[in-house]
Structures are given as structure tokens and as C-alpha cells.
Amino acid sequence: MQKGNISSVTEFLLLGFSVLGINPVVLFLIFALVYGTILLFNIIVMSVILIDRTLHNPMYFLFFAFSVSDTSTTFVTIPKLLVTLLTGHQSISFTGCTLQVFWFFGLGANNCFLLVAMAYDRYVAICYPLQYQVLMSKRTCAKLVAASFVAGFLISLNIDCLIFRLPFCGPNGVRHFFCDLSPVLRLACTDIYLTSVVIVFFCAIVLLATVILIIISYINILSAILKIQSSMGRQKAFSTCASHLTVVLTHFGCASFVYLRPKSGSSLDQDTMISMVYVFLTPLLNPMIYALRNKEVKFAIKKLLKKLFCFQKF
């Protein structure tokens, strides 16, 4: 997307941690430990969902897809961050920055759409339990996942084209630990007002539209739950939604704060810190939320660990 006679910048410098004054080796060890934990937790949950036949249902299929997408988001940002901290090599090529924006925003948007699909799954399960197997068939689930990926990356492609068609003629220091929308856009040597408005519009479509759809699903779910006569039935229905709601609040809370709040010249460093929470904390918490708050997943993990220990002893 770089046009030789328009953009003289051939690489960007990621300056996100240079202003913190913390030993980069210490940061590397901390982030490497957190990243290892993220991968471990997500691999365990994804493996359990694949292996345990009792978890082969739409709810866990959708969470498996969400976990794959969430983990893939970390591949886009964290390995480069770790290399930068370890080697001190802060540069990223123009093409590399373009791809990082495309994959990061595409996977982030896909996560939002998958959370809507998961809300729809809970809506069908609680409001139409007798028709659940028909309405949430394997074919339907596959279509929901495919549509989420396609929609996410189509929006991301448009945003990528909007940003990297602009001229970049210097400076090239990105005040972030990866190529994110706002810090890269501010480096363009032209008026970015119209481009910024269009990008905010795309972000609003992804975040606000998906939040509205989730709220509508839960209004109907709440209405159906309140009609259940037994308190045990109501509690069981609420418990099936608790994990999803927790993930929704964490995901949309961080994303909305970074991409929808009004920007100011001094907000970039704050955005970097919030983005760190989004990149590190959400993929760490999401498998823990589903594992710790869900009896079926906890039981499946215990079964898997028992099998592994018994195999090792043998």
C-alpha cells in the first residue's frame, strides 16, 4: 500500500516503552511470563473443548472460535514486542506496520462479532430451548463464525487502506508498542480529520452495533428468565450467561475506551497503557473465566489432567 513517490517513510520505530525508564530485560521477563501463561491457559481450554465430547455443542464451539481469534490477536503484537525489548531493535517495516494494523483490527472486530454470535446462542438456548438443536445446528454455527471473520477483515481492510494511502514523510516514531490506528495516523503529513472521522465511524459500527445487538439479546433473555417459575431454574439460566457477560464487559470496556473516546494530544501514552490491558489481560482472563465459572469445563479439565498424570505414571 506504500506509494513510492508519496510516502518517503520505509519503516516506523515503536517507542511505546522507551519513555517508561524501566529496564527492558525486566519488562521482557514479565511479559514473556504473562504471554506463556496466556498461551498455556488458552491451549488447555481449546484442547479440552476439542477432546471432550460432552463439550461438543454450539456454546463451546463458538467459544473455541473466539479463543482461537483472541489468541491469534496476541501473535500479531506480543512476539514483536518481546523481540524489541530483548534486542532493542525498535523498527518495523512499512509493510509490517500495514499488516499489523490489518490483522490486529480484523481479529479485534471478529472477536466483537463472535461475542454477538455467543449472545445469540444464549438467547436461543433460553428463549427457544425446544428448537435449540435446529436453530443452532453445526451448519448455522459454522456460518456465524465464517461471517464474523469475513465482516471483521472487510472492515479492517477498509481502515488499512484509509490509513496507508496517506503520505508519510517523517517523523516515523510510533508512540506505542505496536502499530495501532491513532498513533500511526498522527504521523501522516497531511490533514487527517476526514480520515479520522471515517475510521471512528467504522469503529463505532463494530463496537456500538455489536453492543446494541448483545443488549437486545440479553433483554429478551432476562424477560424469559423472569418467567421461569422455579428459583433453581432461574439460577441455572443466569449461570449459563455469567461467563459470556464477564467476557463482554472486559472486551468492550477496554476497546471502547481506546477507540471511541475523544482524543487529545496527551492521550497517546494513556492509550498505550489501556492497549496493554486489552492485548495482555483479555486473552488471559477469557479462558480463566470460562474455565473457573463453568462446571462442565472444570470437570473436563480435571478429566484431562487425570489422564495425563496416569499416562505419565504408566
pLDDT of residue 170: 76
Q: Among 79-83, 150-154, 191-195, 249-253, where is mean pLDDT lowest?
A: 249-253
Does some domain include residue 6?
A: no
- Beta strand 173-174 with 11-14 is parallel
Domain membership of residue 186 (yes or no) is: yes
Residue among 35, 36, 55 nearest 45 (CA): 55
pTM to 2 decimal places: 0.88
Q: Is residue 1 part of a domain?
A: no
- Cell 481479529 belongs to 107
Q: Give the relative orientation of helices 138-164 and 58-87 as an angle to the nearest 10 degrees.
A: 30
Rounded CA-CA distance 118/241 in Å is 10
Does the pLDDT at position 293 exceed 80?
no
- Split at pLDDT 50, 70, 90, the class of 228 is confident
Residue 2 lies in a domain: no
89, three cell numbers: 531493535
Give the pLDDT confidence score for residue 53 in this predicted structure: 86
- Could you tell me if residue 4 is inside a domain? no
User: What confidence score (pLDDT) does residue 2 get?
Assistant: 44
Residue 123 CB contacts under 8 Å (≥ 6 apart), including other chains: 217, 218, 220, 221
CA dist 7 → 122, 171, 175, 197 (Å): 48, 11, 19, 22
Q: If you average pLDDT over residues 164-190, what whole number do you get?
A: 88
CATH number of the domain that 163 lies in?
A: 1.20.1070.10
CA distance 294 to 94: 44
pLDDT value, residue 61 = 93
Q: How many angstroms separate the CA atoms of 156 and 179, rounded?
A: 14
H/E run at residue 173: strand 173-174
Would residue 3 count as lying in a domain? Answer: no
288 close to 282: Cβ distance less than 8 angstroms: no
**Average confidence (pLDDT) over 100-104:** 95
Q: Are 86 and 124 in contact (CB under 8 A)?
A: no
Length of the chain: 314
Q: Is the pLDDT of residue 1 over 50?
A: no
Alpha helices in 165-192 (DSSP H): 181-185
Residue position matching grid coordinates 498522527: 186
The dihedral sign for the CA sequence 211, 110, 126, 236: negative
Q: Which of 83, 146, 79, 74 is nearest to 104 (CA)?
A: 74
- Predicted confidence (pLDDT) per residue in 196-210, tens digit: 899 988 888 888 899
Asked whether residue 76 is domain-assigned, the answer is yes
- Reduced to 3 states, what is the DSSP secondary structure of residue 14? strand
Mean pLDDT of the chain: 85
Whether the Cβ atoms of residue 74 and residue 100 lie closer than 8 Å to each other:
no
Using pLDDT thresholds of 50, 70 and 90, give the confidence band for residue 4: very low
Residue 304 pLDDT class (50, 70, 90 cuts): confident
Taking residues 124-132, report their average pLDDT: 90
Q: 138 or 5: which carries more pLDDT confidence?
A: 138
Question: Is the pLDDT score of 268 beyond 70?
Answer: no
Q: For residue range 142-175, what is the model confidence (pLDDT) as tens digits?
A: 999 999 999 999 999 999 999 999 999 878 898 8
Band of the pLDDT at 267, cuts 50, 70, 90?
A: low
96 pLDDT higher than 80: yes
Domains contained in the chain, number: 1
**More confident site: 5 or 247:** 247
Q: Domain range holding 203?
A: 11-313
**pLDDT grade for 3, boundaries at 50, 70 and 90:** very low
Is pLDDT larger for residue 22 or for residue 34?
34
